[in-house]
Chains A and B, each alone.
Chain A
Amino acid sequence: MSGLSVADLRVTYAGRPPVEAVRGVSLSIAQGETVALLGPSGCGKSSLLSAVVGIVEPSAGAVAWDGEDLTRVPVHKRGFGLVFQDGQLFPHLTVGANIAFGLEMAGMARAARAARVEELLSLVGLAGLSGRGVTELSGGQRQRVALARSLAPGPRLLALDEPLSSLDADLRGRLAVEVRDILRSSGTTGLLVTHDPAEAEVMADRVLRMDEGLLV
């Protein structure tokens, strides 16, 4: 089948007693579709997202793309992008270098990189800011750069972990629409984690609710 499929995924954090954050979740996302995981904080939605992307090791279950099992594939070879809640831009790099990072990892030539960076900057509405330091940006600008950085290498799946929750309400509403349009126009498959039902409604084609480590 095409797209993402997750089968009976479990995430357990070591400790006494161990915490079972995700207790067996199965879901699938078709190519080009955006799915939102909605639920209160602590329900395991971020752990599920992290396990899909590969930055957290699941204790059981499988993650596959187009039928190919990715459970044992390391993060950097999965081709899944991730936008963090607080951006996590590289503080030692400029805006342009942040966006070019993934292109460089993919081995893209310098000239092509510069063109792609410009293209993405105008996509997120920040044309001309390539040379800026990331510390000079406002909160909204940072999240736009984070989005552009994740989209740059053309990931087959883009995971978004509360991407707008650090912004104020007005900006959040506008960006939600923009992000949805960007995902649609680039044909990127999306997995969004949020606690805000309105945001889920605007950005996603389908909303899944999660509670206590299970889909409900």
Chain B
Amino acid sequence: MKPWPASARLWWALAALPVGFLGLFFLWPAGTVVVRGLLGEDGWGGGDLAGAFEVLTRSRTLDAITTTVGLAALGTLGSLLLGLPAAWALSRFSWRGARTMRALVTVPFVLPTIVVAAAFQALLGRSGLLGGLGLDQSAGAIVLALVFFNISVVVRIVGGAWESLSPRLADAARTLGASRARAFLRVTMPALRPAISSAAAVVMLFCSTSFALVLVLGGSRIRTVETEIYLQVNQFLDLRAAAVLALVQVVFVGIALWVSARARAPRPPAAVEPARPPRRLERLGIAAALSPTLLLLTLPGIALVERSLRTSDGYGLDHYAALFGEPPARSTLSAPVWQAAVTSLLTALVATAMAGAVGIVTAMLVSRRARRASALEALVMLPLGVSAVVVGLGVLLTLNRSVLGVDLRGSWWLVPIAQAVVALPLMVRALVPAARAIDPRLRAAAATLGASPWRVLWRVDAPLLRSATAASIAFAFAISMGEFGATAFVARPDRPTLPTAISRLLGRPGIENVGMAFAASVLLAALTASVMLASERLRTTVGAEL
């Protein structure tokens, strides 16, 4: 079947949309960051590499780099320590509650990072449930939050490989004289190693782009490259330093991506046999393997809800009520929180519309295998390869002016634009497999029945992709709602989004401010989680159709 669209000219005409969108809103901003970082304000003309070197050798910068590497290493280690036993318990056996536990493990993935940061603040802050541990504003708190986020990655990748690994292999080793432990070390572990290193690389990537967690939980003492970029822009107004640091961040993420691409786990074969119920001793093992994970996953949420209800004289809904009133006198918020929520909804809608239009066209163009299609796919995935913070900085540096005759200075439009750039690759990644799953011969069948290429698109592709498209649009909406890294740079102080308002409130002392931040976090979590769940439901019905 000839790929659709039939002519290369039409393909390029349609590709102009994603290429133009990303060129203007991503390549130009990110390219500017790189050039500014290397050469300084003057760009190609009178640039100096020495300035970049000076920023790199500042002790603040070296501190931030060391902290970033250290936190990512500890976060990865912790995620493996808790995640591997959990993967074993969840993939090897079938028991009552295993499904619930699996669902629980995936919850952190649908939560915005700012909500997770707030939840750990609620748990570990000085007046929190576990405030006595002394982890307030410490690296320990950040590492715990990183682990909270990434256990699900380990369970999904390693658990998947483990599920498809036949226990007969280890049994065979036992009949050859290996003890249980040796069989595990010599047979099971080597078989799982690719999956484990792949999971570790992905976790490492997520850990090095956890801006909101570090900003909120690290206070003023712990600074990573990303928070240092933010500080340089907002406190020291040193855009050159920010650009140099952004370069460092790009290199970091690049290394993590390269490692994860190399360590990509081989696709496991289908499950060999169903998991069996555990024996008595194994039950103890499962309980021991899962209890730390269970505690880590549930306590922050409980603490967040508790603190959102705790008032100066007992418990009540005061903080929730305050979301709808005027901002408290001592906060830096200039608008009530409900207005921030409305701003969030509106920006997310606009961002979703942009990402949706570009994403659907891109998925259509990319799903036909060809060299130009893979080039386009690589371009669209690029924003994933730099952190959201760099996207935000780039948009701030380049688009905060008049572009093509449209004055974007301090414009509200910068926020949805940045969010759309962040959401687009994730959306396309969710949509392309569904588009590729349509048998090209089905389109050929329609063509032999007299359907023109456009009608094939409309009568075959569109109905078959309806649920996948709806799911990916809901996904993009949830991402835009919770987006913090890029939004923090471009949201105007007088028109915060819900995540930036939460971060602002968390940084202020006083039970009113913090209580409101917690209440707003519960609200944001409920909003995004319900959209994500709807998206998940839509996606599973697709699987049933095809």
Q: Are A101 and B441 in contact (CB under 8 A)?
A: no
CB neighbours (8 Å) of B452 from chain A are: 74, 76
Nearest Cβ in chain B — how far from A35, in angstroms?
18
Q: How many A-B residue pairs have CB under 8 A?
A: 72
Q: Are B447 and A76 in contact (CB under 8 A)?
A: yes
Nearest Cβ in chain B — how far from A107, in angstroms?
9
In the assembled complex, the Cα of A79 lies from the Cα of B448 at a distance in Å of 7
Interface residues of A (CB under 8 A from B): 53-57, 74-82, 84, 88, 90-92, 101-102, 105-106, 149-150, 152-153, 155, 159
The one of B445, B451, B460 in contact with A82, judged by C-beta atoms closer than 8 angstroms, is B445
Closest 4 interchain pairs by CB? Answer: A102-B449, A105-B450, A75-B447, A82-B448
Number of B residues near A (Cβ < 8 Å) is 23
The one of A74, A91, A101, A159 in contact with B449, judged by C-beta atoms closer than 8 angstroms, is A101
CB neighbours (8 Å) of A150 from chain B are: 448-449
Assuming A75-B448, A76-B448, A105-B450, is B6 touching A92 (CB within 8 A)? no
B 264-294 contacts with A by CB, 8 A: none
B 1-51 contacts with A by CB, 8 A: 1-2, 6
In the assembled complex, the Cα of A53 lies from the Cα of B451 at a distance in Å of 14
The one of B1, B453, B546 in contact with A91, judged by C-beta atoms closer than 8 angstroms, is B546
CB neighbours (8 Å) of B442 from chain A are: 88, 90
In the assembled complex, the Cα of A159 lies from the Cα of B442 at a distance in Å of 16
Assuming A88-B439, A92-B545, is B448 touching A80 (CB within 8 A)? yes
Per-residue interface assignment for chain B, residues 280 to 320, with 1 indicating a CB less than 8 Å from any chain A CB and 0 otherwise: 00000000000000000000000000000000000000000
CB neighbours (8 Å) of A159 from chain B are: 448
Q: Is B263 an interface residue (CB 8 A)?
A: no
What are 10 inter-chain pairs, A to B, with CB distance below 8 A? Answer: A54-B447, A56-B2, A57-B2, A76-B451, A76-B452, A101-B451, A102-B449, A152-B449, A155-B448, A159-B448
Q: Is B463 an interface residue (CB 8 A)?
A: yes
Q: Is B455 an interface residue (CB 8 A)?
A: yes
In the assembled complex, the Cα of A80 lies from the Cα of B455 at a distance in Å of 17
Q: Are B450 and A102 in contact (CB under 8 A)?
A: yes
CB neighbours (8 Å) of A90 from chain B are: 442, 445-446, 460
CB neighbours (8 Å) of A75 from chain B are: 444, 447-448
The one of A55, A77, A91 in contact with B545, judged by C-beta atoms closer than 8 angstroms, is A91
* 7 further A-B pairs in the complex, CB-CB below 8 A; given A55-B1, A91-B546, A92-B463: A56-B2, A75-B447, A75-B448, A76-B451, A77-B450, A82-B448, A149-B449
Interface core residue of A75, A90, A102 (most chain B CB under 10 Å): A75
CB neighbours (8 Å) of B464 from chain A are: 91-92
The one of B6, B439, B441, B455 in contact with A105, judged by C-beta atoms closer than 8 angstroms, is B455
Q: Are A81 and B446 in contact (CB under 8 A)?
A: no
Q: Is B186 an interface residue (CB 8 A)?
A: no
B 479-503 contacts with A by CB, 8 A: none
In the assembled complex, the Cα of A88 lies from the Cα of B441 at a distance in Å of 7
Interface core residue of B2, B445, B453, B460 (most chain A CB under 10 Å): B445
Give A99's nearest chain B residue, CB to CB: B449
Q: Are A55 and B449 in contact (CB under 8 A)?
A: no
CB neighbours (8 Å) of B451 from chain A are: 76, 101, 105
Give B456's nearest chain A residue, CB to CB: A76
CB neighbours (8 Å) of A152 from chain B are: 449
CB neighbours (8 Å) of A79 from chain B are: 450
CB neighbours (8 Å) of A57 from chain B are: 2
CB neighbours (8 Å) of A91 from chain B are: 464, 545-546
Q: Is B99 an interface residue (CB 8 A)?
A: no
Assuming A88-B439, A88-B442, is B448 touching A53 (CB within 8 A)? yes
CB neighbours (8 Å) of A76 from chain B are: 447-453, 455
CB neighbours (8 Å) of B546 from chain A are: 91
CB neighbours (8 Å) of A92 from chain B are: 463-464, 545
Assuming A74-B6, A88-B439, A91-B545, is B447 touching A55 (CB within 8 A)? yes
